[in-house]
Chains A and B, each alone.
Chain A
Amino acid sequence: DTGVSQNPRHKITKRGQNVTFRCDPISEHNRLYWYRQTLGQGPEFLTYFQNEAQLEKSRLLSDRFSAERPKGSFSTLEIQRTEQGDSAMYLCASSYSQGELAKNIQYFGAGTRLSVL
Chain B
Amino acid sequence: QKEVEQDPGPLSVPEGAIVSLNCTYSNSAFQYFMWYRQYSRKGPELLMYTYSSGNKEDGRFTAQVDKSSKYISLFIRDSQPSDSATYLCAMRDLSGGYNKLIFGAGTRLAVHP
A42 near B103 (CB under 8 angstroms)?
yes
Q: Which bucket holds chain A's interface residue count? A: 20 to 34
Pick the residue among A4, A44, A48, A113 that contacts B103 (CB under 8 A): A44
Count CB-based A-B contacts (< 8 Å): 60
Is B57 an interface position by the 8 A CB rule?
Answer: no
A91 near B44 (CB under 8 angstroms)?
yes
Is A65 an interface position by the 8 A CB rule?
Answer: no
What separation, in Å, do the CA atoms of A109 and B43 have in the docked complex? 5
Q: Which bucket holds chain B's interface residue count? A: 20 to 34
A48 near B43 (CB under 8 angstroms)?
no
A56 near B43 (CB under 8 angstroms)?
no
16 further A-B pairs in the complex, CB-CB below 8 A; given A48-B98, A101-B32: A31-B99, A41-B106, A42-B4, A42-B103, A42-B104, A43-B88, A43-B103, A45-B100, A55-B98, A95-B99, A101-B99, A106-B46, A106-B101, A108-B36, A110-B42, A110-B43
